[in-house]
Amino acid sequence: MRLYIKHLFLENTNPDFILKEVKTVQHMRMTEKEKLYIQDQIKSEQLCAKKAQLYHDQTRDPSIQGLLRQCVDKSQRHADTLQGLLREAGISIPMTH
């Protein structure tokens, strides 16, 4: 089961799909390693959003700003979905958007 969950994160970038698949596994007990992996991924998504926001604020080209806004939104949705996964497992981490 743990290898399957790790495979989901490595092979898919859609956190909604990952969350749906994980929910299908009955009586999921998250290991410390899985928890740390998800927390690390949340930090990566938050960093990506922060960088995209910085670049968005520095550019004047509306088309580039639009693309960067999409990157910010997508990264924030990914982080939120992963935090929801931890909450469902009874683990809480501080939100830092």
Q: What is the pLDDT of residue 28?
A: 59
Report pTM: 0.68
How many domains does the structure of the chain reveal?
1
Average pLDDT, the chain: 81
Residue 94 forms part of a structural domain: no
Paired tokens of 86: 């931890």
Q: DSSP secondary-structure letter at 26?
A: T
Residue 84 forms part of a structural domain: yes
For residues 14-29, give the mean pLDDT: 61
As a whole number of angstroms, the distance between CA 44 and CA 21 comes to 22
Residue 93 forms part of a structural domain: no
Paired tokens of 22: 């994980």
Q: Which domain holds residue 32?
A: 2-88
